[in-house]
Structure 1
Amino acid sequence: MKKLQVLMVDDDWKLRNLLRIYLSKEGFDTVEAADGHEALLKIQNQSFDLVILDVMMPNMDGWQVCQSIRKTQSVPILMLTALGETKEKVQGLELGADDYLTKPFDPDELIARVHALIRRASTVSSKQMENDVLNFPSLIVDRDGRQVFVHHEQIELTQKEFDLFATLAINSGRVLSREQLIEKIWGYDFEGDARVVDIHIKNIREKLKKSGLTYNPIQTSWGVGYKFDTEVKKS
């Protein structure tokens, strides 16, 4: 069986070496990048199952690297940060990171988060529905192809954005709480901030509006969560 590939991006070679030791013991193949530019070159030429990305790096920080990766790929990204501020973590989530871990970290927690991210990435939310394609006014959700079309033009969603959008569409008309969405998309063992759902919803709405969709299909149920509304409502 082919080993899973993990790209480790950090300018500190000592930390990269520790990560390599931890991950190798778990059976992962590891590839190292000492800075953001090297990481992006490797991602262009090789497929990875996970990226572990440090925030504080010279020349090109982790947020910039994350943003660049998300333009073309939905590979899970685990951010390593020495910053404990919530606003810093929220910034990473807004740019497309899937999870974060504050340094110094416990090796067991690192491995647990790595396995959780890879497990979630391999779970296809489309198993929850029978229809391959969902059709709405000016909007198509192709759950088998993991694509969303507005006016027959594809819009680019990250892996988690698609999973979230498809889950809401599958359960059209039903209000899903943030906790339910987190359990379905991120898994029951997710320990991050529940606001990750709000951040992804905000990004999806902006992309749909920018694509020319004249209504907002994701409605907020205040104090509860969100629902996919099949009725056409103006944005």
Structure 2
Amino acid sequence: MNETATVLVADDDSDIARLMRDYLEADGHTVLIANDGRATVETLEQHPVDCVLLDVMMPNLSGFDVLRRIRETTDVPVLMLSALGGDSEKLRGLGLGADDYIVKSASPSEVVARVRAVLRRAGQARPAATAAAVLDYGRLVIDIGAHEVTVGGVPTPFTAREFELLEHLARHPRQILTRDQLFERFWGEFGDRHSLTVHISRLREKIEEDPAHPRYIVTVRGVGYRFEGEPRR
């Protein structure tokens, strides 16, 4: 039995919104509906939610604009739902901090399964109590307990998924982690394969002096990634 979650369905197509509400409620969730971008922002300001199913093409702020606003204040899981299935739209959504990108041709049951998966991952995203409190790589310092990262002494904001991915890489220095291993750990059975590439790129932009020639997160061609360096004791 899944824990009940509150899911905000943001879609200007009332038929789709009602259909998703019916399927999500049948899965045990409480559902809120917003029919345009501004209503979505207002609903999020007024109600705590556990997940947002966000249409890209909406009036009064697009889904991309709404996602930017969401990521200014919260790491709530967001799944983009769009009739646009091109790589550029997917990369844009994932690059702005979406947890998943779903094309509207997907069946309602698949959408519900992907909502369930992202909620499960969000619930599991907690550092172990016995984990090292701080990973100090000199210029890069990851404070596990405080959920903070400083780069060159400057606090740097990370989404929850970015922080979890960086922590996992940093806990396995000099160890090759394959793309399949990382995708399965952080996205599970569902999700877009572009997600890992986009998140690695975002990490490099935040922690590397030269993202095009990374010092910390190195690509092992054809295999995956390796975190370079050893943490200070």
Shift in CA distance, 228/129, structure 1 to aligned 2, threshold 3 Å: farther
Partners of 1:184 and 1:105 in 2: how far apart?
23
TM-score (norm 2): 0.88
Q: Letter of the 2:154 partner, please give it.
A: E
**Superimposed CA distance per residue, residues 33-84 of structure 1 (whole angstroms, 9 cap, x where no aligned partner):** 1111121122223321100000111231111111221122111111111112
Equivalent residue of 2:73, what SS?
Answer: coil
Partners of 2:215 and 2:67 in 1: how far apart?
27
Aligned to 1:126: 127
Q: CA deviation at 1:152?
A: 4.1
2:222 is equivalent to residue 223 of structure 1: yes
Indicate conservation of the 8 Å contact 2:51/2:119, yes or no: yes
Q: CA deviation at 1:200?
A: 0.8
Partners of 2:34 and 2:191 in 1: how far apart?
27
Indicate conservation of the 8 Å contact 1:10/1:35, yes or no: yes
Aligned to 1:82: 83
Equivalent residue of 1:37, what SS?
Answer: helix
Indicate conservation of the 8 Å contact 2:94/2:198, yes or no: yes
Indicate conservation of the 8 Å contact 2:100/2:191, yes or no: no
Unaligned runs of 5+ in 1: none
Percent sequence identity over matched residues? 39
Q: CA deviation at 1:191?
A: 4.4
Partners of 2:44 and 2:150 in 1: how far apart?
26
Indicate conservation of the 8 Å contact 1:7/1:50, yes or no: yes
Partners of 1:80 and 1:200 in 2: how far apart?
19
Unaligned runs of 5+ in 2: none
Aligned to 1:16: 17
Aligned to 2:201: 202
What is the aligned-residue RMSD (CA, Å)? 2.3
Q: CA deviation at 1:10?
A: 0.9
Partners of 1:126 and 1:180 in 2: how far apart?
19
More deviation, 174-183/223-232: 223-232
